Homo-oligomer: A and B are copies of this chain.
Amino acid sequence: MNIILVEEAEIAGDRLTLIDRRAEHIVKVLRAEPGDRLRVGVIGGRRGFGTIDGMKKKYPFAVELQVDLTDPPGVLPPIDLILALPRPIMLKRILSQVTTLGVGTIHLINANRVEKSFWEAGLLEPEEYRTHLLQGLEQAVDTRLPEVRLHPKFKPFIEDYWPTVAGDYRSLLLADPAGSSRLTEVVTDNSGRLVLAVGPEGGWVDYELEKFKEQGFCCCTLGERILKVDTAVIALHAAISTLREVAAYR
């Protein structure tokens, strides 16, 4: 935890009392002492610092802080993600890792090569996946939770839903190891929002590729090495962010 995240309702004036896993973390992992200053943020809101002025270092743990939260939340990350629903154990890690890297909205969609059972995962309940998003924010020192949207049917997603949000984006990218364009040729601009679609293990089927192309998505590749989905999502996010930074200073 590089920032202690709290709900707005937990703060009374400038007082914050923690008695759950966050208190335990402050005592056992951070080994903080009274007088220490920790980064604190309100989920979805302001960031700042809290100064410890009371602690109970044995179970049940408790930490009292005086907080001063005057920094605004981070800016909305310019990248959104469309992800063919991965295996739950991989999805957990991806949710946390992309939240750390910074993402606005994560659309989890169906695809031909998504196993049906993945849609029954308990992880798809908001209170379950939120834990992993919060871990990502705690790592990144951010307070802005990504939005997660589930689309269990591919055709209604791409034909009916997508056109209603497409106007929000300046760049529509689809990752495909056999894609015709190199990412470096495609991301040459730092303006506007960008959405990146990443397929399931085994890749998109031709029908899905065609549907994305009809919506104006550009098929692009990082290179000839075939990456697993969890590696690909991070590598693509990093490559896109880097290219946007290069474009900004050009």
Residues on A close to B: CB < 8 A? Answer: 2, 97, 100-102, 139-142, 182-184, 222-228, 230-231, 234-239, 241-243, 245-246, 249
Contacts and interface: CB of A to CB of B under 8 A. Distances in A.
Stoichiometry, as copies per complex, reads 2
Given A235-B238, A239-B238, A242-B242, A225 B183 contact: no
Given A100-B228, A234-B238, A235-B237, 17 more contacts: A97-B228, A101-B225, A101-B231, A102-B225, A141-B224, A141-B225, A142-B225, A184-B249, A222-B241, A223-B241, A234-B234, A234-B235, A238-B242, A239-B241, A239-B242, A242-B242, A246-B246
A194 to B, nearest CB: 15
Contacts of A224: 141
Please give me the 6 A-B residue pairs with the lowest Cβ-Cβ distance, nearest first: A235-B238, A238-B238, A140-B225, A239-B242, A234-B234, A238-B239
A100 B231 contact: yes
A227 B139 contact: yes
Contacts of A238: 222, 234-236, 238-239, 242
